[in-house]
């Protein structure tokens, strides 16, 4: 008969296996999603235009509009999600996005840009579906951080694959996004099979992190009212970070060409992989704290540090000081220190610290719906009102402004949540 020590050792081993399975399955699934979203960024589509703006910007705007629409849909959809059909939803939505890339290649300009709205609409719900498999666990912080590396790593890998198909396989730019999707589809099936094997939270984890349940429309309104000043700060911070992320990701080919023309396609993977490694190592230190409010306050310090790095790097780029590629890598590290902390750690600990009965999906989709709307506006503003301004110059200007503004908002947010927690626990 096994001793108590043996049973405890087996329980720890099983827990570790479950954590690794959850992290790998979630990472792989979201990595595959990027194969259907970010490939359009690998092309420049020089000489093509649609609807009065450049063809690439038209594609990005319609994709982001679809992505944004999905975020608004996701506010009630993910918040009230039941678990039995999550895997099927992911497969159907990504398949819809892949089909839209095929139709984009077949339908003539300018009508094909409309297909990117469908692409974004399908992909915008994937984060909430994947995260629902891993939230509410003792190791959710670590698993979420592994998942979040996709924000950095996958974008560079997809661009490298897309450029490789263009330069080495002579695949036309218009066909390249669908071809990239074909490469990822078998991997997607494997990832979904693994994701479906992720076990639900244990009773002990439910007690520690709270039970994650669907929440009604009335409950969502009351939650927002209860934490409104702080949530407005978090939404604003996410808005600034998402705009910077979308412009850097979607126009990184143009930005790099301005800095270092004729760079090898591998430069994107190298830059993003280095940034991803540094961000992961740094943020893992946040995942071990058992005290939820202390974790929240430390996250604010990390977000402020990221905004300061954004400001410093863009100021140096503006004045031409230092190696521009190194500064872009440091900018990326600062951006994703802030972005990944907010996206992957904040609401998990917020729900636990303030004993919110519900799930994190509502908060994710509330802040992301507004963020992608702002991203569309800034890209359209560049195309219509700053036609002679290069993407590098536009990017630097936003970085300086948003870095300073984001630091100030984060300080206010830190003060609000600290005081709110003290008031609730006195």
pLDDT score, position 45: 85
- Domains in the chain (CATH in brackets) are 16-42+50-424 (1.20.1250.20)
Block residue for tokens 């490298």: 160
pLDDT score, position 229: 92
Q: Work out the percent of the chain whose per-residue pLDDT is above 70.
A: 89
Query: How many residues would you count in the chain?
Result: 426
State the DSSP code for 334: H
- Averaging pLDDT over each range in 45-59, 91-105, 275-289, which range is the top one? 91-105
Q: Tens of pLDDT along 277-300?
A: 888 888 777 666 678 888 888 899
pLDDT score, position 309: 95
Q: Which helix (H) or strand (E) holds 163?
A: helix 150-168
pLDDT tier at 5 (50, 70, 90 boundaries)?
very low
pLDDT score, position 11: 43
Q: Which residue has the higher pLDDT, 273 or 303?
A: 303
Quick one: CA torsion of 48, 151, 137, 28, rounded to 10 degrees? 70
Q: Tens of pLDDT along 162-175?
A: 989 998 999 999 99
Greatest CA separation for the chain: 77
Q: Tens of pLDDT along 107-160?
A: 988 899 999 999 999 998 898 888 888 776 777 777 777 777 777 778 778 888
Across residues 31-60, what is the average pLDDT? 87
- Averaging pLDDT over each range in 178-192, 239-253, 368-382, which range is the top one? 178-192
Would you say residue 302 has pLDDT above 80?
Answer: yes
Would you say residue 96 has pLDDT above 90?
Answer: yes
What lies within 8 Å, CB to CB, of 220 at 6+ separation is: 75, 76, 79, 358, 362
Across residues 65-85, what is the average pLDDT? 77
Across residues 167-193, what is the average pLDDT? 93
Would you say residue 83 has pLDDT above 80?
Answer: no
Q: Do residues 198 and 304 lie in contact, with contact meaning Cβ atoms separated by under 8 Å?
A: no
pLDDT tier at 358 (50, 70, 90 boundaries)?
low
pTM of the model: 0.76
Least confidently predicted of 9-18, 91-100, 139-148 = 9-18
Q: What single string gives the DSSP state of each residue in 13-38?
A: HHHHHHHHHHHHHHHHHHHHHHHHHS
Q: Tens of pLDDT along 368-417?
A: 878 888 888 887 788 777 777 888 899 999 999 999 999 999 999 999 99
Using CB atoms within 10 Å of the CB of residue 423, give its burial: 0 to 12 exposed, 13 to 18 middle, 19+ buried: exposed
Torsional sign, CA 174, 57, 72, 199: positive
Q: Which of 279, 280, 327 is nearest to 306 (CA)?
A: 279
């Amino acid at each position: 008969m096994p001793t108590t020590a043996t049973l405890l050792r087996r329980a720890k081993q099983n827990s570790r296996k479950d954590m690794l399975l959850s992290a790998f399955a979630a990472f792989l699934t979201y990595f595959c999603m990027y194969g259907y979203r970010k490939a359009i960024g690998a092309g420049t589509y020089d000489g093509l235009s649609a609807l009065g703006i450049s063809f690439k910007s038209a594609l990005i705007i319609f994709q982001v509009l679809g992505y944004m629409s999905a975020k608004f849909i996701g506010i009630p959809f993910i918040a009230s999600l039941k678990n039995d059909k999550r895997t099927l939803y992911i497969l159907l939505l990504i398949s819809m996005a892949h089909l839209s890339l095929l139709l984009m290649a077949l339908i003539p300009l300018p009508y094909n840009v409309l297909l990117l709205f469908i692409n974004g609409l399908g992909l915008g719900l994937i984060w909430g579906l994947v995260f629902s498999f891993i939230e509410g666990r003792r190791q959710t912080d670590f698993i979420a951080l592994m998942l979040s590396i996709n924000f950095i790593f996958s974008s560079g890998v997809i661009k490298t694959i897309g450029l490789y198909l263009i330069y080495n396989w002579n695949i036309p730019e218009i066909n390249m996004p669908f071809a990239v999707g074909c490469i990822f589809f078998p991997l997607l099936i494997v990832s979904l099979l693994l994701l479906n094997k992720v076990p639900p939270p244990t009773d002990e984890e439910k007690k520690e992190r709270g039970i994650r349940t669907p929440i009604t429309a009335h409950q969502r309104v009351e939650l927002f009212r209860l934490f409104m000043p702080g949530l407005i700060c978090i939404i604003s911070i996410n808005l600034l970070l998402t705009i910077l992320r979308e412009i850097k990701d979607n126009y990184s080919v143009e930005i790099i060409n301005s800095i270092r023309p004729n760079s090898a396609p591998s430069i994107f993977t190298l830059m993003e992989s280095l940034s991803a490694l540094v961000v992961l190592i740094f943020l893992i230190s946040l995942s071990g704290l058992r005290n939820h409010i202390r974790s929240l306050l430390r996250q604010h310090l990390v977000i402020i540090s990221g905004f300061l790095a954004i400001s410093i790097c863009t100021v140096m780029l503006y004045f031409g000081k230092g190696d521009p590629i190194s500064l872009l890598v440091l900018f990326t590290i600062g951006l994703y220190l802030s972005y990944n902390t907010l996206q992957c750690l904040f609401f998990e600990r917020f729900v636990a610290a303030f004993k919110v009965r519900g799930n994190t999906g509502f908060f994710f989709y509330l802040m992301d719906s507004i963020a992608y709307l702002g991203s569309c506006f800034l890209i359209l503003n560049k195309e219509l009102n700053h036609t002679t301004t290069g993407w590098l110059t536009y990017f630097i200007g936003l970085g300086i402004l948003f870095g300073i503004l984001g630091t100030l908002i984060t300080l206010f947010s830190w003060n609000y949540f600290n005081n709110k927690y003290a008031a609730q626990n006195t």
